[in-house]
Structure 1
Amino acid sequence: MRAVVQRVSRAEVRAGGETVASIGRGLLVLLGITHGDTAETARAFAQRIAGLRVFDDADGRMNLDLAAVGGAILCVSQFTLYGDVRRGRRPSFEAAAPGRAAQPVYRAFIEAVRGLGIPCGEGVFGAEMAVELVNDGPVTLVLDTDELARPRRA
């Protein structure tokens, strides 16, 4: 599972020309799912992302998480995070899980976020969408479950 996480002052996703979800302060999560990802993977990833201390405390240090600031998550499925451009100029998406396998994992992520008491808006799985955001900071992080499983360098 892979995510691009952006701290936002606001974000919105539209499908078919209509707004389907929007948030104020919080995190925009572009979520990619690969082969072998499970609901368990999604739940652990949701906890990790919701717990990121990327919001400023009273001293201006990134020390607070979503719950501490009353923030929300806007989650948008993004299979292109698994695009491979090592050969040629057209990306291969073989590493992205097919829609039928990815959608339940995507749903598990959203439900896990909500289960943590964090409001979670969502895009329309598999649809063409337009995402608008105001990146606050800017703060942008890339998280990958494979990378998170590796030991930290000394």
Structure 2
Amino acid sequence: MRALIQRVSAARVSVEHAVIGEIGPGLLVLICAMQGDTEAEADSMAAKISKLRIFSDQAGKMNRSLTDTGGGALVVSQFTLAADTSRGNRPGFSAAAPPADGDRLYQHFARALADLGIPVETGAFGADMAVTLTNDGPVTIWLDTNQTA
């Protein structure tokens, strides 16, 4: 799975001008299931994100996790994170999981994050969404379960 996370002071997602998910301080998580991904990758990604120490402590150092702060997560499906731009100027998305698998793994990831005690709001898989956020920092981190870091 691939994820782009952004530390936010607030974020919301709308479909057809109606807000369907909204959080205060926490993380906006743009998530993409890749070909061959399973629930194990979704669980691993959820655990990693819940424990990332990217929130400030009393001394102003990034030393607290989403779990520590009690912040929320706005989880939005984002198949374009699978973009392959190695040939030409038009991205290809064939590395993304097929829609049925992508939706299943997206839902599983959101539940796994919630099961870890994180308040979770979601977008709508496959919908044309408008995402609004206020970056905090800004702090933006790329995660991929196929890469070790």
Task: Report the TM-score when normalising by structure 2.
Answer: 0.98
* Other-structure match for 2:98: 98
8 Å Cα contact 2:32-2:96 kept in structure 1: yes
* Other-structure match for 2:69: 69
Percent identity, please. 49
* Other-structure match for 2:25: 25
* Other-structure match for 2:47: 47
* Other-structure match for 2:88: 88
SS in 2 for 1:40: helix
- Rounded Cα–Cα distance in structure 1 between residues aligned with 2:71 and 2:139: 15
Residue 10 (structure 2) pairs with residue 2 (structure 1): no
- Rounded Cα–Cα distance in structure 2 between residues aligned with 1:32 and 1:100: 13
Residue 14 (structure 2) pairs with residue 38 (structure 1): no
| Cα deviation, residue 27, structure 1 | 0.4
CA displacement 1:7-40 (0-9 Å, x = unmatched):
0000000011100000000000000111111112
- Stretches of structure 2 that go unaligned for 5 or more consecutive residues are none
| Cα deviation, residue 147, structure 1 | 0.9
- Rounded Cα–Cα distance in structure 1 between residues aligned with 2:92 and 2:100: 18
Residue 139 (structure 2) pairs with residue 139 (structure 1): yes
Which portions of structure 1, spanning 4 or more consecutive aligned residues, are displaced by more than 3 angstroms?
Answer: none
Alignment RMSD (CA, Å): 0.8
| Cα deviation, residue 42, structure 1 | 0.4
- Rounded Cα–Cα distance in structure 2 between residues aligned with 1:41 and 1:89: 30
- Stretches of structure 1 that go unaligned for 5 or more consecutive residues are none
SS in 1 for 2:146: helix
CA displacement 1:56-90 (0-9 Å, x = unmatched):
00000000011211101000000000111111111
Task: Report the TM-score when normalising by structure 1.
Answer: 0.94
SS in 2 for 1:75: strand
- Rounded Cα–Cα distance in structure 1 between residues aligned with 2:55 and 2:63: 6
8 Å Cα contact 2:44-2:145 kept in structure 1: no
| Cα deviation, residue 111, structure 1 | 0.5
